């Protein structure tokens, strides 16, 4: 075993993640590669919103969606492509990039921030929906197994969002052992960033708690935004991602 691999495994074990590294890498990479919009050999592109800007009102207002998608997400994509233009990571998928980057390598900071921004928002638009969709039994069973109830899971997600100081995300993830867990990352970090995230896994639901996600409608009241967003979670999409992720 290479020294670097040994250190990586030691860190994961220290974080309470009991895995074999080969399995973890394959699981995470497989999930990442299934993100069709993210498999690109040339430049990354801004995906269209899957609904109208006003579709999530009154929970998320049209102006917030317009700026969030058309300005913030668009800028992550533009800056990601600019950062990759001169990088040996150009041509790789975001899943591959997330496995390669480390917190200490400052030459990849822009790729980490903007690559995370692109992945996280691409997921975020899809796990929201103006139509109420049902959670499938497969996911519900796993949530009850790992959190006791759906309400308990939602409470944990809100708590993770509230405790994230400053900007970041709250996540529902599949661990390498297929169990579900809730976590949070700062800034645009993502649970697929194997050398960066405190706990690594495959994200199936992500809630943006940056102020730009809610400030126009809720000002400083992040808790109200976190209550409201659970009216527009696309549980059918999250269920599909769970089923794909555990295969
Ligand atoms: Mn955002």
Q: Give me ligand 1 centre to Cα 23, in Å.
A: 31
Residue with tokens 């194997």: 194
Q: Give me ligand 1 centre to Cα 127, in Å.
A: 14
Q: Is residue 32 one of the residues assigned to a domain?
A: no
State the helix-helix crossing angle for 150-163 and 137-147, rounded to 10 degrees: 70
Q: Give me ligand 1 centre to Cα 49, in Å.
A: 14
Q: Is residue 131 one of the residues assigned to a domain?
A: yes
pLDDT in tens, the chain (247 residues): 444 443 343 333 333 333 334 444 455 555 555 554 454 446 999 999 999 999 999 999 999 999 999 999 999 999 999 999 989 999 999 999 999 999 999 999 999 999 999 999 999 999 999 999 999 999 999 999 999 999 999 999 999 999 999 999 999 999 999 999 999 999 999 999 999 999 999 999 999 999 999 999 999 999 999 999 999 999 999 999 999 999 8
Report d(CA 179, CA 145) in Å as an integer: 9
Q: Is residue 172 one of the residues assigned to a domain?
A: yes
Count: domains in the chain: 1
Q: Give me ligand 1 centre to Cα 56, in Å.
A: 15
Report d(CA 67, CA 44) in Å as an integer: 19
List the beta bridge partners of residue 172: 182, 205
* CB under 5 Å of ion ligand 1: residues: 208, 210
Q: Is residue 1 one of the residues assigned to a domain?
A: no
Backbone phi, psi, residue 214, to 5°: -145, -10
Q: Is residue 237 one of the residues assigned to a domain?
A: yes
Q: Give me ligand 1 centre to Cα 9, in Å.
A: 31
Q: Is residue 119 one of the residues assigned to a domain?
A: yes
Residue 77 CA to its chain's centroid (Å)? 16
Q: Give me ligand 1 centre to Cα 121, in Å.
A: 6
CATH code, domain carrying 83: 3.55.40.20
pLDDT of residue 28: 52
Q: Give me ligand 1 centre to Cα 141, in Å.
A: 30
Range(s) of the domain holding residue 101: 61-247
183 contacts 175 by C-beta, under 8 angstroms = no
Q: Give me ligand 1 centre to Cα 208, in Å.
A: 6
HSE at residue 43, side-chain half, CA atoms within 13 A, is: 14
Q: Is residue 52 one of the residues assigned to a domain?
A: no
Q: Is residue 8 one of the residues assigned to a domain?
A: no
């Amino acid at each position: 075993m290479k020294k670097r691999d040994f250190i990586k495994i030691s860190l994961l074990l220290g974080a309470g993640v009991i895995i074999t590294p080969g399995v973890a890498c394959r699981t995470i990479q497989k999930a990442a590669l299934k993100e069709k919009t993210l498999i690109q050999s040339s430049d990354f592109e801004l995906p269209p919103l899957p609904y109208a800007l006003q579709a999530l009102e009154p929970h998320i207002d049209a102006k917030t969606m317009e700026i969030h998608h058309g300005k913030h997400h668009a800028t992550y994509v533009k800056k990601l492509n600019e950062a990759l233009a001169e990088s040996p990571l150009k041509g790789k998928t975001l899943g591959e990039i997330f496995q390669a980057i480390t917190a200490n390598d400052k030459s990849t900071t822009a790729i980490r921030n903007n690559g995370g921004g692109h992945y996280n928002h691409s997921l975020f638009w899809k796990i929201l929906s103006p139509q109420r969709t049902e959670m499938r039994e497969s996911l519900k069973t796993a949530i009850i197994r790992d959190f006791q109830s759906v309400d308990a899971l939602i409470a944990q997600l809100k708590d993770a969002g509230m405790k994230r100081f400053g900007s970041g995300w709250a996540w529902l993830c599949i661990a390498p052992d297929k169990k579900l867990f809730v976590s949070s990352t700062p800034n645009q970090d993502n649970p697929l960033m194997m050398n960066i995230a405190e706990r690594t896994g495959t994200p199936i639901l992500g809630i943006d708690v940056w102020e730009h996600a809610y400030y126009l409608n809720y000002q400083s009241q992040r808790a109200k935004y976190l209550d409201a967003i659970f009216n527009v979670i696309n549980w059918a999409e999250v269920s599909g991602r769970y089923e794909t992720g555990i295969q």
